[in-house]
């Protein structure tokens, strides 16, 4: 097992504000249906494993019956952003590795991981850790985006590759991420020792105000694609932007709002 300082990651952070614009707003929207499916204990201590800037943490803080809420993330900038926004005294945020949780066995009455496990390099170890820190009978739950369940991102990446094939391997996903197909997350939970594992699909709407709202967070937000794009000659940047705008408008002459239903796989299970 690697140490916190050595943890390899498949997610490239680029600041809390960039994360919020590109993904945080959708994590926040998914948090409510995720908790409704997962269930929240009637009391006790819970953990948000891979908290980001706090989408799920703050949703948990709406549950008045909880005694304390631990929030953990590998990115310092996310932890600091969460701390700066937290007004609930029950919330404690710290830097740490979801694959080596810095807690004792059986400390928690609920452990949650929202949109994290398909970005870590050893999801099985992370889920084993979630199982380890739960008390007997307590619930753990996780959700990841479905591979074919994010049409707005598929539209973006397919357009990029059509005009800039060199982008493959430079921030553009080269294949399906782990756990993003039906049954994969469930199997990992069962292998980790969770009992009564259930799987479902959660759906939210990713809605954009206009093309600029669609374009800028993806180009200047998270990941390594931003560096690739910024290194392109301006003529190629402009060509890609024009192509992306045409794809977003999809034959409509008027710019404006667009909505894309987006799906995530979610599982829950209990520690025996």
Residues 6+ apart with CB under 8 A from 221: 14, 18, 19, 21, 22, 23
261 compared with 15, residue with greater pLDDT: 261
CA distance 36 to 56: 12
41 compared with 253, residue with greater pLDDT: 41
**Mean pLDDT value across residues 260-265:** 96
> Quick check: 10 pLDDT over 70?
no
Supply angle C-alpha 253, 259, 260, rounded to 5: 120
First CA to last CA distance, the chain: 25
199: its two tokens: 């799987």
Residues 6+ apart with CB under 8 A from 88: 61, 69
At residue 252 the predicted structure's pLDDT band, cuts being 50, 70 and 90, is confident
103: its two tokens: 């807690």
Cβ–Cβ < 8 Å for 37, 13? no
Q: Collapse the DSSP code of 92 into the 3-class scheme (helix H, G, I; strand E, B; otherwise coil) and give the result.
A: strand
At residue 253 the predicted structure's pLDDT band, cuts being 50, 70 and 90, is confident
175 compared with 228, residue with greater pLDDT: 228
**Mean pLDDT value across residues 241-263:** 94
Whether this model's pTM surpasses 0.75 = yes
Domains of the chain in sequence order: 4-148+174-205+262-271 (3.40.50.150)
**Mean pLDDT value across residues 123-137:** 98
Q: Are strands 108-114 and 134-145 parallel, antiparallel or unpaired?
A: parallel
236 compared with 16, residue with greater pLDDT: 236
Of 1-5, 40-44, 94-98, where does mean pLDDT reach its minimum? 1-5
134: its two tokens: 């739960």
Q: pLDDT by residue (tens digit) across 137-188?
A: 999 999 999 988 999 999 999 999 999 999 988 878 777 888 999 999 999 9
What pLDDT shows up at residue 19?
67
55: its two tokens: 């989408």
- Report the chain's mean pLDDT, rounded to a whole number: 90
Q: pLDDT by residue (tens digit) across 40-81?
A: 999 999 999 999 999 999 999 999 999 999 999 999 999 999
- At 237, which helix (H) or strand (E)? helix 234-249
């Amino acid at each position: 097992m690697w140490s916190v300082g050595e943890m390899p990651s498949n997610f490239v952070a680029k600041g809390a504000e960039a994360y919020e614009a590109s993904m945080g707003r959708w994590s926040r929207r998914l948090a409510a249906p995720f908790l409704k499916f997962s269930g929240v204990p009637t009391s006790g201590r819970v953990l948000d494993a891979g908290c980001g800037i706090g989408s799920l943490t703050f949703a948990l803080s709406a549950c008045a019956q909880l005694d304390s809420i631990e929030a953990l993330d590998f990115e310092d900038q996310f932890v600091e952003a969460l701390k700066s926004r937290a007004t609930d005294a029950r919330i404690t945020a710290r830097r740490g590795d979801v694959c080596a949780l810095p807690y004792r066995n059986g400390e928690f009455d609920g452990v949650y991981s929202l949109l994290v496990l398909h970005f870590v390099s050893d999801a099985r170890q992370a889920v084993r850790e979630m199982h380890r820190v739960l008390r007997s009978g307590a619930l753990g739950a996780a959700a990841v985006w479905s591979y074919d369940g994010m049409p707005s991102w598929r539209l973006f990446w397919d357009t990029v590759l059509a005009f800039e094939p060199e982008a493959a391997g430079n921030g553009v996903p080269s294949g399906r991420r782990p756990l993003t197909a039906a049954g994969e997350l469930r199997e990992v939970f069962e292998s980790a020792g969770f009992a009564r594992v259930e799987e479902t699909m959660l759906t939210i709407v990713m809605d954009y105000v206009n093309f600029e709202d669609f374009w800028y967070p993806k180009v200047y937000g998270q990941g390594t694609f931003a560096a690739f794009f910024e290194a392109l000659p301006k003529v190629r940047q402009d060509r890609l932007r024009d192509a992306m705008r045409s794809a977003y408008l999809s034959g409509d002459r008027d710019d404006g709002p667009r909505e894309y239903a987006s799906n995530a796989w979610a599982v829950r299970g209990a520690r025996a």
